[in-house]
């Protein structure tokens, strides 16, 4: 039994916050387990026993058909949509796994220890794991992958955004001495500065662990530690995972013989038709009015309350007809002031969520700071646009052609039009939209949840990062963010977060209208299909009830 007194001091402080009612149990689990506290010990700090998993009787074998977009694959560290990782999870595993209850669970790591000021991490590598080609999995593999993640020069490598505290800015690679293989089961990380986000970053979907022979293509000579292997893969049509009977997997599960991802596009009506025709067993996500329509079927429904969201964002560096309209803060603020987020939630997402505040930090993030709501004033918005000399400029709001993102964009465009701001709408099919999602002058993008608010801000808004689709570059913001990620205590971090959130609003960086509750429907008798707050599908846990 774990000695609770020996656990990281911050974990005890978090438990006190739970008892005072100032911290949710979910966020306590995220924080405590990120520090290396096991889920069982974390529950013990609350005076509770860890809930026992239901003893689901799962029959081995069978094929499961999942409706999901089938995107072209690439180097996992450059993945930019969860659907890519949900396929490769069958064979490319993770150091840490983010659980539905908010905790961080060991996977290819069995444990991690963090010193009190979060400047040194000691990682314990799982023993007895082999790659599918027979090679042993060791600390060298872990160090190899973390080093890859640090390579800022690799186009699209968003993992470098998560590894900033290990990177030498002069070289754009891991700093000498930052990553040390102590022995075959231990890796030590020495950071440039305190950073409480690393373990959460290890769980994010671009952090799939690849073999040291990896050539950048997950389908070319695929070698993994997981229980499945790639089968047929046709972009936009279907993709198969087949159980690897020649590989002894270290884990528990992997019940299914085959998992098939079927791409039915973004039209929920087409997906519903496929369900009625018995063409799929489980869908990726139910949205909008189709949540109620799917409820009419004899299927299971699962919900996750999340920090998933959508942003309507101007690109501050975009050139339109020889000018950079969104470099002017007055233009950006006018756009935000013309949108009523309550209305956008109702019209765009059927009210299934919580109103956002235009700063991309959610009330369920532990360091969220409560600010006054954004100002909605369409008359002032029009006046500000005129002051900027842009009263006659026609904005073009671009979105994908699916249901809720299209509806959300339509709702915002309608409000801008009502405010007297000229605007047109461009709607693109997914296959076209995703190719340039970070480059459009004015567009709509959905963002998945991260456990910590500082993670989101670092990924999406720090200067020069690959996923910074707004081209926001603000020295004060970057400095405050560096300070925030070094503060382990969420209450202290919240003081800095308030400044960051206020800067986001003042600079008109995004219209961020709501936080999404997300839903999934699946055929009765499927085990392991519950909706995950970050859309992860843990394929080894899927199966059919006996």
Q: Which fold has domain 94-202?
A: Dipeptide-binding Protein; domain 1 (3.90.76)
Q: In sequence order, which residues have a C-beta less than 8 Å from that of residue 192 and are 6 or more positions away?
A: 164, 165, 166, 167, 175, 178
Whole-structure pTM value? 0.82
Give the relative orientation of helices 378-387 and 329-337 as an angle to the nearest 10 degrees. 160
Query: Domain limits of the chain?
Result: 4-45, 94-202, 305-517
At 436, list the tokens.
Answer: 């340039």
- Taking the CA atoms of 260, 266, 272 and 277 in sequence, report the sign of the dihedral they define: negative
Query: What percent of the chain shows pLDDT beyond 70?
Result: 94
Q: Which residue's entry shows tokens 């963002």?
A: 447
Nearest partner of 430 among 3, 81, 62, judged by Cα: 81
Q: What is the distance between the alpha carbons of residues 77 and 207, in angstroms, rounded to a whole number?
A: 6
Q: What is the distance between the alpha carbons of residues 214 and 159, in angstroms, rounded to a whole number?
A: 17
At 505, list the tokens.
Answer: 């609003």
What is residue 261's three-state secondary structure?
strand
Q: What is the distance between the alpha carbons of residues 159 and 151, in angstroms, rounded to a whole number?
A: 9
Specify whether the CB–CB gap between 143 and 164 falls below 8 A.
no
Q: What is the distance between the alpha carbons of residues 511 and 509, in angstroms, rounded to a whole number?
A: 7
Kindly tell me if the per-residue pLDDT of 11 is higher than 90. no
At 131, list the tokens.
Answer: 């790659």
What is residue 385's three-state secondary structure?
helix
Distance of CA 273 to CAs 286, 290, 292, 448, Å?
A: 13, 11, 15, 27
In a 13 Å sphere around the CA of 232, the CA atoms on its Cβ side amount to 10
Helix and strand counts by DSSP (H, E) for the chain: 17, 22
Q: For residue 21, what pLDDT is reported?
A: 67
SS (H, E, C) 464-485: CCCCCCCCCCCHHHHHHHHHHH
Q: Give the CA dihedral 406, 408, 413, 416, nearest 10 degrees.
A: -170
pLDDT band at 40 (very low <50, low <70, confident <90, very high): confident
Q: For residue 56, what pLDDT is reported?
A: 58
CATH (residue range 305-517): 3.10.105.10
Nearest partner of 208 among 108, 285, 278, judged by Cα: 108
Kindly tell me if the per-residue pLDDT of 134 is higher than 80. yes
Kindly tell me if the per-residue pLDDT of 2 is higher than 60. no
Distance of CA 513 to CAs 114, 356, 411, Å?
A: 36, 5, 11
Instruction: Please write the tens of the pLDDT for every residue from 249-259.
Output: 999 999 999 99
Q: For residue 284, what pLDDT is reported?
A: 97
Q: What is the distance between the alpha carbons of residues 257 and 244, in angstroms, rounded to a whole number?
A: 9
Count of C-beta atoms within a 10 Å radius of residue 232:
11
Q: Which residue's entry shows tokens 């009502």?
A: 418
Q: Kindly report which listed range (6-10, 156-160, 202-206) carries the lowest average pLDDT score.
A: 6-10
Q: What is the distance between the alpha carbons of residues 504 and 316, in angstroms, rounded to a whole number?
A: 13
Q: For residue 22, what pLDDT is reported?
A: 63
Kindly tell me if the per-residue pLDDT of 317 is higher than 60. yes
Mean pLDDT of 151-170: 95
Q: For residue 388, what pLDDT is reported?
A: 97
Q: For residue 6, what pLDDT is reported?
A: 60
Mean pLDDT of 106-123: 94
Q: For residue 1, what pLDDT is reported?
A: 47
Specify whether the CB–CB gap between 83 and 71 falls below 8 A.
yes
At 351, list the tokens.
Answer: 């009210």
Specify whether the CB–CB gap between 11 and 42 falls below 8 A.
yes
At 443, list the tokens.
Answer: 């567009």
Q: For residue 472, what pLDDT is reported?
A: 98
Nearest partner of 101 among 8, 39, 17, 12, judged by Cα: 39
pLDDT band at 36 (very low <50, low <70, confident <90, very high): confident
Stronger pLDDT, 95 or 2, i.e. the higher one? 95
Instruction: Please write the tens of the pLDDT for every residue from 414-452.
Output: 999 999 999 999 999 887 888 888 899 999 999 988 888
Q: What is the distance between the alpha carbons of residues 498 and 456, in angstroms, rounded to a whole number?
A: 15
Q: Which residue's entry shows tokens 């309550």?
A: 342
Count of C-beta atoms within a 10 Å radius of residue 60:
12
Quick one: DSSP state of residue 469? T
Going by DSSP bridges, is the β-strand pair 238-243/353-355 parallel, antiparallel, or unpaired?
unpaired
φ, ψ for residue 505, nearest 5 deg? -70, -45
Q: What is the mean pLDDT of the chain?
A: 92
DSSP-assigned beta bridge partners for residue 515: 309, 354
């Amino acid at each position: 039994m774990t000695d609770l007194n020996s656990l990281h001091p911050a974990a005890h402080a978090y438990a006190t916050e739970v008892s005072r009612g100032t911290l949710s149990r979910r966020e306590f689990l995220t924080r405590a387990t990120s520090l290396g506290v096991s889920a069982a010990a974390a529950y013990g700090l609350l005076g509770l026993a860890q809930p026992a998993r239901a003893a689901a009787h799962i029959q081995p074998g069978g094929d499961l058909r999942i409706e999901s977009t089938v995107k072209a694959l690439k180097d996992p560290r450059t993945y930019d949509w969860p659907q890519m990782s949900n396929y490769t999870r069958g064979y490319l595993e993770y150091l840490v796994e983010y659980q539905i209850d908010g905790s961080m669970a060991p996977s290819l790591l069995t444990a991690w220890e963090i010193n009190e000021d979060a400047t040194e991490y000691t990682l314990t590598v799982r023993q007895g794991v082999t790659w599918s080609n027979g090679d042993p999995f060791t600390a060298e593999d872990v160090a190899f992958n973390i080093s890859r993640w640090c390579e800022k020069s690799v186009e699209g490598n968003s993992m470098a955004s998560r590894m900033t505290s290990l990177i030498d800015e002069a070289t754009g690679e891991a700093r000498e001495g930052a990553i040390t293989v102590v022995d075959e089961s231990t890796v030590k990380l020495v950071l440039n500065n305190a950073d409480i986000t690393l373990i959460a970053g290890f769980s994010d979907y671009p952090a799939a662990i690849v073999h040291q022979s990896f050539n950048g293509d997950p389908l070319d000579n695929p070698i993994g530690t997981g229980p499945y292997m790639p089968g047929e893969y046709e972009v936009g049509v279907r993709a198969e995972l087949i159980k690897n009977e020649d590989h002894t997997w270290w884990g528990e599960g992997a019940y299914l013989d085959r998992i098939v991802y079927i791409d039915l596009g973004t039209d929920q009506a087409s997906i519903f038709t496929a369900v009625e025709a018995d063409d799929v067993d489980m869908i990726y996500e139910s949205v909008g009015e189709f949540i109620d329509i799917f409820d009419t079927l004899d299927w299971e429904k699962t919900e996750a309350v999340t920090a998933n969201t959508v942003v309507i964002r101007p690109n501050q560096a975009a050139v339109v007809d020889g000018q950079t309209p969104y470099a002017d803060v007055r233009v950006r603020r006018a756009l935000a002031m013309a949108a009523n987020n309550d209305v956008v939630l109702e019209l765009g997402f059927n009210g299934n969520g919580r109103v956002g505040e235009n700063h991309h930090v959610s009330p369920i993030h532990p360091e969220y700071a409560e600010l006054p709501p954004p100002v909605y004033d369409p008359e002032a918005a029009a006046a500000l646009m005129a002051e900027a000399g842009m009263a006659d400029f026609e904005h073009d709001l671009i979105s994908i052609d699916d249901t809720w993102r299209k509806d959300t964009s339509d709702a915002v465009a309608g409000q801008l039009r009502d405010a007297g701001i000229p605007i047109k709408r461009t709607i693109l099919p997914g296959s076209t939209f995703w190719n340039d999602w970070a480059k459009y002058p004015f567009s709509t993008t959905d963002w998945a949840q991260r456990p910590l608010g500082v993670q989101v801000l670092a990924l999406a808004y720090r200067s020069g990062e690959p996923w910074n689709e707004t081209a926001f570059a603000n020295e004060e913001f970057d400095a405050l963010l560096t300070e925030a990620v070094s503060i382990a205590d969420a209450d202290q971090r919240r003081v800095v977060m308030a400044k960051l959130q206020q800067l986001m609003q003042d600079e008109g960086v995004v219209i961020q209208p709501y936080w999404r509750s997300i839903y999934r429907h699946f055929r009765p008798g499927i085990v392991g299909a519950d909706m995950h707050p970050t859309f992860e599908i843990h394929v080894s846990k899927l199966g059919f009830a006996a």
